Amino acid sequence: MEKKKFYYIETFGCQMNVHDSEKIAGMLIDLGYCETAQKERADIIVFNTCCIRETAELKIMAKIGDLKALKKKNKELIIVVCGCMTQQQGMADLLKKRFPFVNLVIGTHNLDLLEEYVKSYTGSKFKSIVLEKEQEITENTKIYRTNHKNAFVNIMYGCNNFCTYCIVPYVRGRERSRKVEDIVREVEELAKENKYSQITLLGQNVNSYGLDFKDNKTNFVYLLDKLCKIKGDFKISFMSSHPKDFSNELIDFIASHEKMSRAIHLPVQSGSDEVLKRMNRRYTSSHYKSLVDEIYKKIKGVSLTTDIIVGFPGESEKDFNDTCDLLRYCKFSSIFGFVYSKRNGTPAATFSDQVPYKVKKERITKLFDLQHEIQRIELSSLIGKTLECTIERDEKGRFIAKTFNNKSIKLNGENYTIGDKKSVLVKEINKNELIGEIA
């Protein structure tokens, strides 16, 4: 009997990468591999990398270094490094120099070549396949979905925005939208499987979906309208949005469609107009606040989340305070806060007035403390309220009740059935966690 072969994939970065790893798993399963959670057992190890911040990159570099020992023990082991990090200029050469035991370095524009490579692998030495330009979108890729509640669906690739701090446009290329009919077909198939409570549409800036077709018809709302007509018990969410393109038409659409998730992620990055300008975000804080006003007014029970960068070059104490004011105004249900990280090749890396690390650290701590306090006040206002929820388990395996806008309420006891719809009374909060019982 032929020996079973195993793959091990480790994913860094955003949902886009998580979903790419689902495609890589699909290819490897097709080639006869089975999944393993143990590196030591694997016949092929794939690192799907991210380079959004220096910390991500350093961590990955160290982890690649650790693979040397495994390769020594098992000469047959295939090691693949792919994803955003590899697409950076000069990175393939650097990896070759530092980690000659890696077998394949493959860029973001040609991930499908991974299957060909593994199929025809004959023990070759270091090889890199990094194409400079984005390719045609490939359809009909096999996907092995690893999240059993939430299915990711790409609607577009790349980014045209060139925010001055961000590496993504350089490593993911220009915006390319998938055809409406291809997306509809994929979502129809997922709906038929009848096991996903959420379908998340992925793109770096989903609000500019379809504009590259230049047909004066296709846009994000047009796509959502088609998707909302698909029968099935699932919510549609999307990420990420860019405030400059988040239209009133979209707000109205979400407000009037039950299928649309009430959890919206709308990255603001900073509350200072000066900083936003130097970030090339192309909106002001008052534009952002007016969007938030519209969203709260029209979309009942919405929960908003955002991304913030502190310590962008030139960020003064006043700029930082403007960001704090914006948090107080918008009352996000949670935030993702980051310390600015210099990325080679981006404009902001050459800005002269870089903020010292100590100041950045102080600001991020202040930011999280402030947000914590805002959340505590917001959550306290829910005590005594009864909310319609679906029973789920959290990542620790505990039973929780999820509201339609993605808030979690911890339930005591074990007598619940996953997927049940229940009215839940919020009793108290403990360390920013809601605690409740079935009403």
DSSP H helices, 194-272, are: 220-228, 248-255
Q: Is residue 198 a contact point for ligand SF4 (CB under 6 A)?
A: no
Number of residues interacting with ligand SAH: please give it, by CB under 6 A.
17
For residues 25 and 326, what is the distance between their CA atoms, to the nearest angstrom? Answer: 41
Tell whether the torsion through CA atoms of 364, 369, 373 and 379 is positive or negative: positive
Q: Which is nearer to ligand SF4, 44 or 275 (CB)?
A: 275
Q: How far is the CB of 14 from ligand F3S (least distance, A)?
A: 3
Q: How far is the CB of 16 from ligand SAH (least distance, A)?
A: 9
Amino acid at 130: V
Largest Cα span, the chain: 69
Phi-psi bin for 275: left (phi > 0), alpha (psi -120 to 50), beta?
alpha
**At closest approach, how far in Å is the CB of 89 from ligand F3S?**
14
Tell me phi and psi for residue 122, to 5 degrees.
-130, 30
162 binds, among ligand F3S, ligand SAH, ligand SF4, none (CB under 5 to 8 A by kind): ligand SF4
Q: Is the Cβ of residue 51 or residue 180 nearer to ligand F3S in the bound state?
A: 51
Segment interacting with ligand SAH, rule: CB under 6 A, options 18-26, 88-96, 143-151, 160-168: 160-168
Using alpha carbons, list the distances in angstroms from residue 338 to 7, 53, 267, 273: 32, 9, 12, 18
Separation CA 302–CA 298 (nearest Å):
9
Please tell me whether residue 347 binds ligand SF4 under the rule CB under 6 A: no
Q: Shortest gap between Cβ of 262 and ligand SAH (angstroms)?
A: 19
Q: Check binding of 239 to ligand SF4 (CB under 6 A).
A: no
Shortest distance, position 280 Cβ to ligand F3S, whole Å: 18
Contact 94, 65 (CB under 8 A): no
Q: Is 87 in the site for ligand SF4 (CB under 6 A)?
A: no
Query: Which residues bind to ligand F3S, rule: CB under 6 A?
Result: 13-14, 16-17, 50-52, 84, 167-168, 171-172
> Rule CB under 6 A: is residue 343 a binding residue for ligand SAH?
yes
Mind giving me the DSSP string for 354-411?
Answer: PPPHHHHHHHHHHHHHHHHHHHHHHHHTTTT-EEEEEEEE-TTS-EEEEETTS-EEEE
The residues in 115-174 that bind ligand SF4, with binding defined as CB under 6 A, are 159, 161-163, 166, 168-169
Closest CA to 227 of 258, 193, 188, 190: 188
- Identify the CA nearest to 86 among candidates 110, 62, 68, 66: 110
Q: Which is nearer to ligand F3S, 85 or 387 (CB)?
A: 85
**Cβ closer to ligand F3S: 13 or 243?**
13
Beta-strand pair 386-393/399-403: antiparallel
How many residues touch ligand SF4 (CB under 6 A)? Answer: 10
Which residues of the chain form contacts with ligand SF4 (CB under 6 A)? Answer: 159, 161-163, 166, 168-169, 204-205, 242
Contacts with ligand SAH, residue ranges (CB under 6 A): 52-53, 165-166, 168, 204-205, 240, 242, 267, 269, 307, 309, 338, 340-341, 343
